[in-house]
A and B are shown apart, each in its own frame.
Chain A
Amino acid sequence: MSKKIEAIIREEALDAVKDALHDLGIVGMNVFEIRGHGRQGGLDMSWRGTSYKMDLLLKIQLNIILSDNNVEKTVEAIIKAARTGKEGDGIIFVYPVEDVIRIRTGERGHEALMYKDDIDTKRQKK
């Protein structure tokens, strides 16, 4: 079975998270620029002397599809790289994935998720 990790992080944390995941052997990911707010609620700004609240902040969403046994490690790596301890660090969702099909080869499931130097081959090397 595969899982989908949907991680919403600070815009400025993207580089650190990307590097951490790369070191771990997570090779594939999709990144979105999104807007939203959670508990943090937004920021106070001003324009020509008038204050306003910007309540939909720019955030980054990473989508990663991986095999079940890699979820915990990946989640830990994201938390470690993205955490500042202040409100607005983000949130991570994990969903089950029904199937994965690689368009080029027709591979399905775990096979379709394999890359050279990915997290599984790295583990085998050790």
Chain B
Amino acid sequence: MRKRKLGWFVTPAIAMFLMFVVNGIVAAQTQGPTTDDLATSTNIMWTLITGFLVFFMQGGFALVETGFTRSKNVAHTMMMNMMVFCIGALGYWLVGFAFQFGGVNFSFPAIGKIAGISFAPSTLGDMTGHLDKWLIRFGQTGILGGDGFMLTRGVRDMSGILAFFLFQMVFMDTAATIPTGAMAERLKFTGFVLMGFWVSMVVYPLVGGWVWGGGWLANLGRTAGLGNGAVDFAGSGVVHMIGGAVALAGAIVIGPRIGRFNPDGTANAMPGHNIPMGVLGTIILFFGWFGFNPGSSLAFVGPGRNLAANAAVNTLLAGGAGGMAAMLFMWWIGPTKKPDPGLSVNGVLAGLVAITSPCAFVNSTGAVAIGLIAGVIVCLASFLLERLHIDDPVGAVPVHFFNGIWGLISVGIFADGAASSAGWNGVDGPVTGLIFGGTTQIFAQLAEVASIFVVVGGLSFLFFKLLAALKLLRSEPAHELMGLDVPEMGTQGYSTVDVHMHGSALPRQSPRVGSPGR
């Protein structure tokens, strides 16, 4: 009976579906999309989907940072990792995107024989009339973009710009979430909120625009003859070194956690409370990185295809090499002679951070070399910070700051001059490093390193000093000692004791033991 009923429904449904399909095919034959349309659609879809993957890295960061801190601070650390996205989404929408990319579609005139250029991602479709204004610009030197505030002026109908905004917003958020790890377990929540706006609205858009928004660093190839200008494919510098520089400035200004260093200068270990969280978070980050790096081609049609595929393979290899190098370094050379899980986690992330900039411009041998070196750098940098009495509970600075620098420099060494990178930043030749005969690329890379160090590190140092002077930066010592969860967030992260044990949530006449309610 039931079967027959279903049949009555299914048969006409299939018939109608077939009619739609046939109609669709006929329509496509008469007025189908052009090849250009299909290419743009494919590129936009690629950008959106990889952007979603990058978004999921937020979960990875949350798990790594929370696993590496103590159980009395988990609600606080988790909340920072979630809310930084919410803060950043609004801040970036208000002004961040416009500051960073407001001039990306501006047409710089020719310089003598060097042709004029617009830095806009043409793979995402026509952007004429949009993102073409600089607030601050001196000739070929773009400083601060000035269009796209709150995505108004008809952007609603521009799929390419919308996808581009989403992609760039989740990238910015990756940078904004890095400092929360370095200042974890002692950062006042008000200070954290202000830091989120600082990164998303001011310091990241400003310097990020110099590299990706058509600013002066990207233009160094055309204006100063330095290789292809500052080349930072997916942001070892723009995302990780910027985030790491804010983290370093924050960790210095906020000072170490109570009890981290002894009066005689020795350090005390403050073990994280959950290694499984840290490892799972790292695997989630690794997965998200397959959006982060390959997606930065912003294209899957034409040269973008090879850039993306090469980036994906190199990401895989460098992450693996980074983890191996850190594990073996700690096992064979490090002070404790164990395959340390904490630093192995940092090693995987270090390899991923380092390959982020060069991923599309190096071959797989280069990727493995970059990853191996990154894994050693992260261990040495961790010991250096401890010696300098800079307290970074999760290793954010060794991972993102030091390996961000290494990633940027490695482009200038290992870039192999493959055809898919020809014409990058308006310079005719491909991106070529020292090993393959490109002698000037590394100076453009060093210019980016110096800019981020001085401008992002310096301004953020002043910003955190201001917060400290206003007493908004560091939690009270009593709160820090009992853990920030209860005094700052008003709840425990892990409620080990049920509410009725505290006596306030139930009526005084509690149900009798053994009564029917139980």
A47 CA to B342 CA in the complex, in Å? 7
**Contact, CB under 8 Å: B338 / A46:** yes
Chain A interface size, under 10 / 10 to 19 / 20 to 34 / 35 or more: under 10
- CB-CB under 8 A from B336, the residues of chain A are 46, 49-51
Is A52 part of the binding interface, using a Cβ–Cβ cutoff of 8 Å? yes
Q: Tell me which of B271, B335, B383, B395 has the highest count of chain A C-beta atoms within 10 A of its own C-beta.
A: B271
A48 on interface, CB distance cutoff 8 Å: yes
Inter-chain CA distance A49–B333, complex, in Å, is 11
Q: Is the CB of A49 within 8 A of B383?
A: yes
Report how far A48 CA is from B378 CA in the complex, Å. Answer: 11
Contact B271 A45 (CB under 8 A): yes
Interface residues of B (CB under 8 A from A): 267-272, 330, 334-336, 338, 340, 342-343, 346, 379, 382-383, 386, 395
Dominant secondary structure at the A interface: strand
Measured in the bound complex, the distance between the Cα atoms of B334 and A51 in whole Å is 11
Q: Is the CB of A50 within 8 A of B268?
A: yes
Q: Closest Cβ of chain A: how far from B387's Cβ, in Å? A: 11
Which residues of A32-60 have CB atoms within 8 Å of chain B's CB atoms? 45-52
Instruction: Name the distance in Å between B332's Cβ and chain A's nearest Cβ.
Output: 13
**Cross-chain contact B335 with A47 (CB below 8 angstroms):** no
Q: Within the assembled complex, what's the spacing in Å between the Cα atoms of A100 and B375?
A: 63
Residue from the list B272, B346, B379, B386 in contact with A50, Cβ < 8 A: B386
Q: Is the CB of B340 within 8 A of A46?
A: yes
Alpha-carbon separation in the docked complex, A70 to B386 (Å): 57
Say yes or no: B271 contacts A49, CB within 8 Å: no
Residues of A within 8 A of B330 (CB): 49
A49 to B343 Cα, complex, angstroms: 8
Query: What is the minimal beta-carbon distance from B306 to any residue of chain A, in angstroms?
Result: 38
Tell me how far the C-beta of A34 lies from the nearest C-beta in chain B, rounded to whole angstroms. Answer: 16
**Which residues from B are CB-within-8-Å of A48?**
269, 340, 342-343, 346, 382, 395
Contacts A/B (CB < 8 Å), 6 sampled? A46-B336, A47-B269, A49-B334, A49-B340, A50-B269, A51-B336
5 A-B pairs besides A47-B272, A50-B269, A51-B335 with CB distance below 8 A are A48-B269, A48-B342, A50-B268, A50-B336, A51-B336
Counting from the closest, the 4 A-B pairs by CB-CB distance are A46-B336, A48-B342, A47-B271, A52-B269
- Asked if A49 contacts B272 (CB within 8 A), the reply is no
Q: Are B379 and A49 in contact (CB under 8 A)?
A: yes
A48–B343 Cα distance when bound, in Å, is: 5
